[in-house]
Amino acid sequence: MEISRERRREIINALRRGTVPQRGLDFLSVGLGQFDAVVAGELGEVAQGGSSFKAVRGDYGCGKTFFGRWVQECAKKKGFATAEVQISEAETPLHRLETVYRRAMEGLSTSECFLGAFRSVLDGWFYGLEEDVLAEGDIAPDDQGALQRRADDLLERRLVEVTRATPQFAAALRAYRAAQRRDDHATAEGLAGWLAGQPHVAAPIKRVAGIKGDVDHFAALSFLRGLLLILKDSGFSGLVLVLDEIETLQRVRGDVREKGLNALRQLIDDIDGGRFPGLYLLVTGTPAFFDGPQGIQRLEPLAQRLHVDFRTDARFDNPRAVQLRLSPFDHERLVEVGTKVRDLYTSDCSSPERVRRLATDALVAGLARGVAGKLGGKVGVAPRLFLKKLVADVLDRIDQFEDFDPGQHYRLTLTVAEMTATEREAQATGVDDIELDL
């Protein structure tokens, strides 16, 4: 698989920091082949005007965030726009859908614009209006007056459906276009921000469009529908929206949790009801969120909608079901992804021959065993720290220091400061340090 130098560096830098890369995940994916055909089929149905909801469950280290980003990459190749929102108690609570919408628009991504694509989508839509008028062939490109009048007529025809879904969204779009034409950049930026759900837009800017207030919980859903219509009209296949770490709902106050669960139920019902054509919504959470008393089981209608029986052999899990179960990493998968990272690293480093000679398959396997051993033998918790140690502690040192030999000079250590809460819980206690078998 060919991968650009820029993408290689993005992947390696993310792993060095202990984070999931934003792009290039096809290269790193292991154990996802069973989902390829189903995800492709579901995206195809959404591109034809349908909508879909998927829940992904798995313990820490199973790769839920990775899976969500892998789906986004697959979707971009099929012409989708994508957005990812991490649900959190303080910054992005699920019951505040206006905040979820704003975060999604801030992170809106397309194949041409990696982040912050909202303005480019709007501008591309307006540009497409003029291109469609010119394609009719009865207006000269230099006749700006006639071009603008005809484009305005086409705008109004295409805004009919947007106006039906969300009148304020359509009004702000008209005002945004007018502000751009008169080179009123401050007003245009303010209106674009308001359309993207940004709060505290100045009242004079909103008066220009005849709109009031900020985008609230209910308006956010209407604005999402408006965006889907614009994406479709601009030639996009639709939108993939990933809500990651939805299990944080379990940690909030009881009444807030109920509101969040009800917001999720509302989203699922609206998708099933066909309100959001072109939307593929994917949420990720832990098994405790789906099965435990503080998760979806607290809201019976939601639990019924998401129920899947996972008591059967995981080999026979149905990838078409509303929930997918991700299996935890085992040693073989951990080594496989480690060797992939090593090979990727050697394609863009200063001393590739020395890295290949010293970072052997046996060393990678030994490091995988060592990290898992220091985490109580829980391989499923090990991928993040394993890949971080592999890149930052081993490969970087081999590449930079000619006399560094990991077999002689490296001893694996893990400190509490570098671990997440889950990793600290898994860490072996009262056991001597486990030596690497290098």
Give 371-418 pLDDT, tens digit per residue: 999 988 888 788 899 999 999 999 999 999 999 999 999 999 999 899
Query: CA-CA distance, 107 to 115, in Å (whole number)?
Result: 5
pLDDT at 1 over 60: no
- Backbone dihedral angles phi then psi of residue 282, each to the nearest 5 degrees: -125, 130
pLDDT digits (tens, 9 = 90+) for 176-211: 999 998 999 999 999 999 999 999 899 999 999 999
User: What DSSP string runs through 309-331?
Assistant: ---S-GGG--TTSSEEEPPPP-H
Which one has a higher pLDDT value, 32 or 56? 56
> Helix, strand, or coil here: 224?
helix
**Are 67 and 56 a contacting pair, CB within 8 Å?**
yes
Query: For residues 58 and 244, is the Cβ–Cβ distance under 8 A?
Result: no
Write the pLDDT tens digit of every residue in 270-300. Answer: 999 999 999 999 999 999 999 999 999 999 9
For residue 435, pLDDT beyond 50: no
d(CA 122, CA 5): 31
The widest CA-to-CA distance across the chain, in whole angstroms, is: 82
CA distances from 404 to 339, 353, 385 (A): 20, 14, 21
- For the stretch 134-161, pLDDT in tens is 888 777 777 777 878 888 888 888 888 7
Provide the pLDDT confidence category of residue 315 given band limits of 50, 70 and 90. confident
The span from the CA of 280 to the CA of 112, in Å, is 20
Residue type, 255: D
Residue at token pair 């890295």: 355
Say whether pLDDT at 35 is over 50.
yes
Contact 81, 115 (CB under 8 A): no
Would you state the pLDDT for residue 137?
Answer: 72
Interior angle at CA 117, CA 115 and CA 123, nearest 5? 160
Confidence (pLDDT) at 297: 94
8 A C-beta contact, residue 172 and residue 196: no
d(CA 298, CA 140): 63
Decide if 238 contacts 279 (C-beta within 8 A).
yes
What pLDDT, on a 0 to 100 scale, did the predictor assign at position 120?
Answer: 93
Q: What is the pLDDT of residue 425?
A: 84
Residue that the structure tokens 């308006």 belong to:
219
CB 414 within 8 A of CB 385: yes
CA-to-CA distance for 151 and 130, rounded, in angstroms? 6
Tell me the average pLDDT across 10-25: 88
Mean pLDDT estimate for the chain: 89
What value does the CA radius of gyration of the chain take, rounded to a whole number of Å?
25
The pLDDT of residue 56 is 96
**The pair of three-digit structure tokens given for residue 252, joined into one six-digit string:** 């909030």
Give residue 96's pLDDT: 93
- To which residue do tokens 């929206």 refer? 241
Predicted local distance difference test score (pLDDT) of residue 107 = 94
**What domains lie within the chain, and their CATH numbers?**
1-29+329-438 (no CATH), 31-110+236-325 (3.40.50), 119-218 (no CATH)
CA dist., res. 285 & res. 425, Å (int)? 19
pTM: 0.85
Lowest-confidence region among 23-27, 273-277, 367-371: 23-27
